[in-house]
Structure 1
Amino acid sequence: MPLGPMFLGLGRTGVVFLAALAVAAVAVPVLNLAVPPQSAWHVPTTTVVLFGKYLCYALLALSIDLVWGYCGILSLGHGAFFALGGYAIGMHLMREIGSRGVYGNPELPDFMVFLNWKELPWYWYGFDHLWFAVLMVLLVPGLLAFVFGAFAFRSRVTGVYLSIITQAMTFALMLAFFRNDMGFGGNNGLTDFKDVLGIDLQKDSTRAGLFALSALALGAGFLVCRAIVSSKLGKVLVAVRDAESRTRFIGYRVEHYKLFVFTVSAMMAGVAGALYVPQVGIINPSEFAPANSIEAVIWVAVGGRGTLVGAALGAVVVNIGKSWFTGALPELWLFALGGLFVFVTLFLPKGLLGVLRPRAAKPAPALDDEPAVRVSEQRAAE
């Protein structure tokens, strides 16, 4: 497809968003590595790591917006997919430690030696190889979402009931991963990573590279989401969101559309978790906490549900605020987050993107069910 029509399909906001990510992916590493620390243009490594985390959160928010903003599936369990992707890459990083651990065991991670494990569990096989870990980053969250969604959507579980069982899913996983006999480090999780592909994770160049990779992954995730929501499939998803019963009655297998988008969204969340773990240096069961999933939903609401760019923007803005609040007024952060959600719901229904650029923040399409369903009826007639 020619570049002109492709960019035109993205819209001005989408093009600006991708351009900003491309500039950040190049400029931030250069300002961190090539500019002397005493220069006013130097970007400290701590800032690179911090904003690398924000980009991972933005990708997670994008995955939630895909299912909530365009298909009406309010998932309160996407933190589970994020954490599973993080554990998959964390297992590879633990295998790369080898004999350099505290106990010097080349076969077993330190926590297994401490807990008197005699051999490596079968589900750790293959994680010596990065390609296998990357494959699991996609397959494990995707398979969980597929199985969960197949049962839930076939049973026509919707609305608040679906939200509750997604929350129950991530809570159950959190309790399971806290157990030492699960073989994932229990309460402490996986940490003390050394390198990836022989490259020291503590080097400034590695951290800058992970930042750039996170920016590229966010851009790729945006393009995938944009391709889905702007296609015929996207029109059906919006019809499902606005009038599921009518969409079902005119012949669409609604559960198949829901299952597809839910699985794709889970895989995106897994990629976000996989990029997050090398940058923060740890993954533990607290990432499964339901509160994390709820907070991610707030990011989407603050940025602008059903806008894609707004979801990513909301994740970055809210987490910048969180970093400041938890440092200056840590006891007030949860109150501020709750108040922000209430304020946005009452006064900014289109989120921050609606304030910055009202036309770009127009949800796709409007919440009136007639336009979306008419499109679906026309497609069915064809």
Structure 2
Amino acid sequence: MNTHVQSLTRELPRKTKTLRSRPLAATLILIGGAAVLLLSIALSICFGAADIRLPVVWSAIFHFDPAATQHQIIWELRLPRVLGGALVGASFAVAGAIMQGMTRNPMADSGLLGLNAGAGFALALCFAFFPGLPFLYLILYSFVGAGLGAGVVYGVGSLAKGGLTPIRLILAGSALSALLSALSEGIALHFNVGQDIAFWVAGGVAGTKWYQLKTMVPWVGGALLGSIVLSRSITMLSLGEDVARGLGQRTGLVKLAATVIVLVLAGSAVSVVGPVGFVGLIIPHLTRYLVGVDYRWIIPCSAVLGSLLVVLADLAARMINPPYEVPIGALISLIGVPFFLYLARKERREL
């Protein structure tokens, strides 16, 4: 044991040198990204079936007039929609960043590893058997479904000879997602809730309401704060479990806390927007490329960039073919699928 500790101690300086971070770049992303996000939110509120000028948006937010039709459109439809998109983007992106750091799997994402499908299946059961269920309970069932989906994927992946590998996890997640999606569609047909499920499965924030945001904000806000608290520990885990233990980390406790945070983020996002994939795959890789591998910077920057991606995707969804809308899940997939194939090919070369 002493020999192992001594060898690990000699190895730590060499490994920690690989923790290249770019604090200046991260600070610029946080400040500049937040500014662009605010501008994108303003533009998203302006454009739609009825175009609204920016001064009217400012007036509606700070001097609301319930008698003005445009003010009603902004407050009841567009503002909750765009704020919901920002929360969802941050949730998916941070969940993906934590999963990739914790598992050291570059292709980890809540959509690819069965969490989204599990949450979706739980919601389909709620639509069928508990119609009119309060949104708080929908979120709780989403947490449970996401946890079961992740558990099944990891369990199936572990049964294969050679144990868990990124490719096996993705295959198991894809198989489970297909199965749960088929079961959800069967439930929709049998219980005549196809319209509700079809709208949700397409992926979009058009139906987001204030009561959903009020329920979602405490969960997502707490999970995001928890992820920042855990960011240093996630950085250590990304170096390897032995290295993390050598640096004094209680890896079991850190993994448990990180898993709970991921389930809360993924479950909350899916309950609002549906099973939108690839946000948690693309954004963490882009963030690591820009700011380095220190999760103290990756997690907050991922939250900002993830919010920006979903808000811009929602804006594009309304502008491509007005007055109709394209599902934002489909737009993000246009970027996500080629990126996933690139990662899969790169991972295969490294095996």
TM-score range (shorter-chain normalised) is 0.5 to 0.7
Q: C-alpha deviations, 1:151-210, integer Å up to 9, x for none?
A: 5358631233323322332222212222248866575454899xxxxxxxx9xxx93343
Alpha-carbon distance between aligned partners in 1 of 2:136 and 2:315, rounded to the nearest angstrom: 37
- Percentage of matched positions with identical amino acids: 15
Q: C-alpha deviations, 1:262-316, integer Å up to 9, x for none?
A: 4542342112222x16xxxxx6xxx3xxxx4234412333455741122222222
Residue 78 of structure 1: aligned partner: 111
Residue 312 of structure 1: aligned partner: 303
Alpha-carbon distance between aligned partners in 2 of 1:139 and 1:339, rounded to the nearest angstrom: 27
User: What TM-score comes out, normalization by structure 1 length?
Assistant: 0.51
1:337 aligned partner, one-letter code: I
Distance 1:86 1:247, change over 3 A: same
Residue 208 of structure 1: aligned partner: 210
2:166 aligned partner, one-letter code: G
1:71–1:258: 8 Å Cα contact kept in structure 2? no
Residue 174 of structure 2: aligned partner: 167
Q: Check if 1:176 corresponds to 2:207.
A: no
1:49 aligned partner, one-letter code: P
Question: Out of 55, 78, 96, which is 2:87 matched to?
Answer: 55
Residue 349 of structure 2: aligned partner: none
2:91 aligned partner, one-letter code: L
Residue 115 of structure 1: aligned partner: none
Query: Runs (4+) of structure 1 moved beyond 6 Å?
Result: 11-17, 38-42, 245-257
2:116 aligned partner, one-letter code: F
Q: Which moved more, 1:301-310 or 1:254-263?
A: 254-263
Q: CA deviation at 1:251?
A: 12
Alpha-carbon distance between aligned partners in 2 of 1:83 and 1:178, rounded to the nearest angstrom: 12
Distance 1:67 1:185, change over 3 A: farther
Whichever structure has more helix as a proportion of its residues is 2
Residue 137 of structure 1: aligned partner: 142
1:76–1:294: 8 Å Cα contact kept in structure 2? yes
1:58–1:312: 8 Å Cα contact kept in structure 2? yes
Q: CA deviation at 1:75?
A: 2.3
2:90–2:306: 8 Å Cα contact kept in structure 1? yes
Structure 2 unaligned residues grouped into runs of 5+: 1-25, 42-56, 201-206, 290-294, 344-351
> How many pairs does the alignment contain?
270
Alpha-carbon distance between aligned partners in 2 of 1:296 and 1:223, rounded to the nearest angstrom: 18
Distance 1:337 1:89, change over 3 A: closer
Alpha-carbon distance between aligned partners in 1 of 2:72 and 2:194, rounded to the nearest angstrom: 41
2:118–2:148: 8 Å Cα contact kept in structure 1? no
Residue 266 of structure 1: aligned partner: 263
1:239–1:247: 8 Å Cα contact kept in structure 2? yes
Q: C-alpha deviations, 1:66-85, integer Å up to 9, x for none?
A: 11145423324537433544
2:116–2:270: 8 Å Cα contact kept in structure 1? yes
Q: Which moved more, 1:49-58 or 1:252-261?
A: 252-261
Alpha-carbon distance between aligned partners in 2 of 1:236 and 1:70, rounded to the nearest angstrom: 9
1:268 aligned partner, one-letter code: L
Q: CA deviation at 1:88?
A: 4.3
Question: Out of 27, 35, 40, which is 2:64 matched to?
Answer: 35
Residue 238 of structure 2: aligned partner: 238
1:143–1:263: 8 Å Cα contact kept in structure 2? no
Q: Which moved more, 1:312-321 or 1:253-262?
A: 253-262
Question: Out of 269, 284, 296, which is 1:300 matched to?
Answer: 284
Q: C-alpha deviations, 1:80-115, integer Å up to 9, x for none?
A: 4335445646765x5xxxxxxxxxxxxxx6xxxxxx
Alpha-carbon distance between aligned partners in 1 of 2:111 and 2:251, rounded to the nearest angstrom: 21
Q: CA deviation at 1:46?
A: 2.9
Alpha-carbon distance between aligned partners in 1 of 2:188 and 2:313, rounded to the nearest angstrom: 34
Distance 1:66 1:125, change over 3 A: same
Alpha-carbon distance between aligned partners in 1 of 2:134 and 2:320, rounded to the nearest angstrom: 43
Alpha-carbon distance between aligned partners in 1 of 2:81 and 2:300, rounded to the nearest angstrom: 20
